[in-house]
Amino acid sequence: MKPINKARIIIIGSGFAGIAAAVRLKQAGENDFIILERGEDVGGVWRDNRYPGCACDVESHLYSLSFAPNPNWSHKFSSQPEIYAYLQDCAKKFDLISHVRFRHEVKRMEWNEDTCEWYVATSQGDFNAQMVVGAFGALSNPAIPKLKGLDTFAGEAFHSSNWPKNFEPKGKRIAVIGTGASAIQFIPALQPEVDYMTVFQRTPAWVVGRPDQKISPTKQKLYSKFPLLQKATRLGIYIRRELLGIAFRNPKYMKIVAKAALSNMYRSIKDPVLREKLTPDYIIGCKRILQSNVYYPAMAAPNVNVVTSEVVEVTEDSIIAADGTEAKVDSIIFGTGFQITDIPFARYIFGKNGQRLADVWAGSPKAYLGTTVSGFPNLFIMQGPNTGLGHTSVIYMIEAQIKQMMGVLKHMQKNQLDIIEPSMDAQKGFVENTEKSMKGTVWTSGGCKSWYLDHTGRNSTLWPGSTYSFRRLASRVITGNYVGDQASAKMKYLLNNQSGSPDR
């Protein structure tokens, strides 16, 4: 049997959530932790997504860790290389690299009821830990449609999150399948280079302008010299985005945002046929609102054709749509998003009594505060069910979840508990209250089918209230909502009543 590596806490993933969790643990005096990272560097989604034009659609001063402000952001909205560099800098600044085990992809996790710890199998060895922090990332596993004949295509075919380093678009006939948040960034970047581009659009997106601008060296110096100025800027962005959140919960107010989006389109799209193709038939906000100043001009370019019929087949050198349209292409790029509600990590996590998380969730994820799951002790999931956002920075939510986690750990230490999980009643209560708050929002009454909704039709992705309301809930640990135990007492009972240990 291979030797087992041990740590009190294992963090899986080194993106924003993994780094934030590690820093908060260190600040609390906890150093017995390791970070398992499947890649060769920290950064998570901002390491992996390197497609042309990749950038954040939340302003940099808010899309960053509250305890690690960066006064040197070069733009109001940062690009992928800059965010990636920021995360690398955070890992070095807080001395986290020594805790990271790179190229360790987690294959399986099992809760061992005899030892009251997690067994974690990876591509490079096995680990045991009392607690696991799942910082897997919500946008880490691409969703690629199963298309007839795709395996026969002779050219390059890849998802935007797996962009080849040596891909050369110049002079090629490109097919883009999907028009989501990634596609509206790489389409304008590729359009001037390619010979021809065919965009297969299932559902048009609402696209508003992106008020980006450079941040001058003078302002960067001011932020560095006067940190309160940067905090005030961050607060201003936060308040403005929370006001937009109010509109999401009152769809009638979204008419103002829709008007701005249509104006953005009409400025660039003069062809009435193309306008019709690109105009959504659902309430704005029902699906993710996108931001771009260059997407519509690219779509109106003479070397771009928009096909609104569903792709039904791929041949050796072409794509065929349901309406009979056939496009000869050299390369296929999928801008089809990620597996959000059908969460991949749930398939390899086994809790009490050997129950698999994917089976417990049955395609409709549920958790207490989106962070802990009944039946899965000592497991904290960052960016879990109902912690996503449609209007502001998810980093704010991650930090709120970590605050709850740190409070639970403090409660465990104070009461000498080794095992903890939310009670089923607490979890059900949280989910039911979230469901009630979701009613009447643009996400449930907007008339669209989005990746926010799971296969049951339930919005298990987004938080329906304000981020402040979630922060307020997460800041307080209601001890009665958790069930705790001491491992020593439990182990004595088990040893007196059974022998052996679970087969690994």
Q: How confident is the model at residue 387, as a pLDDT?
A: 96
Cα dist. 361→228, 231, 450, 456, 483 in Å? 44, 39, 19, 11, 20
- Using DSSP, state whether 162 is helix, strand or coil: helix
My answer on whether 384 and 343 are in the same domain is: yes
Q: How confident is the model at residue 144, as a pLDDT?
A: 84
Task: Inform me whether the pLDDT recorded for 274 exceeds 50.
Answer: yes
Asked whether residue 154 is assigned to any structural domain, the reply reads yes
My answer on whether 310 and 350 are in the same domain is: no
Residue 487, domain extent? 4-42+96-141+339-497
Q: Per-residue pLDDT tens for 311-333? A: 999 999 999 999 999 999 999 99
Domain boundary among 316, 334, 352: 334
The count of other CB atoms within 10 Å of the CB of residue 243 is 12
> Would you say 463 and 386 are in contact if contact means Cβ atoms under 8 Å apart?
yes
> Would you say 127 and 36 are in contact if contact means Cβ atoms under 8 Å apart?
yes
Q: How confident is the model at residue 2, as a pLDDT?
A: 60
In this structure, is the dihedral angle defined by the CA atoms of residues 376, 342, 161 and 298, taken in order, positive or negative?
Answer: negative
- CATH no. for residue 183? 3.50.50.60
My answer on whether 162 and 189 are in the same domain is: yes
Asked whether residue 169 is assigned to any structural domain, the reply reads yes
Asked whether residue 225 is assigned to any structural domain, the reply reads yes
My answer on whether 349 and 447 are in the same domain is: yes
Asked whether residue 386 is assigned to any structural domain, the reply reads yes
Task: Inform me whether the pLDDT recorded for 1 exceeds 60.
Answer: no
Q: Report the distance separating Cα 147 and Cα 112, nearest Å.
A: 40
What's the burial of 386, exposed, middle or buried (CB within 10 Å: 0-12/13-18/19+)?
buried
Give the rounded percent of residues in the chain with a pLDDT score beyond 90: 80
Q: Per-residue pLDDT tens for 403-438? A: 999 999 999 999 999 999 999 999 999 999 999 999
Enumerate helices (H) and strands (E) in the chain, giving the number of each.
15, 20
Which structure tokens are listed for 488?
Answer: 């020593």
Q: Answer with the residue of higher pLDDT: 140 or 395.
A: 395
Q: How confident is the model at residue 499, as a pLDDT?
A: 36
Asked whether residue 70 is assigned to any structural domain, the reply reads no
Q: Which amino acid, one-letter code, is at 116?
A: C
pLDDT band at 139 (very low <50, low <70, confident <90, very high): low
Q: How confident is the model at residue 444, as a pLDDT?
A: 82
Task: Inform me whether the pLDDT recorded for 297 exceeds 90.
Answer: yes
| Mean pLDDT computed over 357-385 | 96
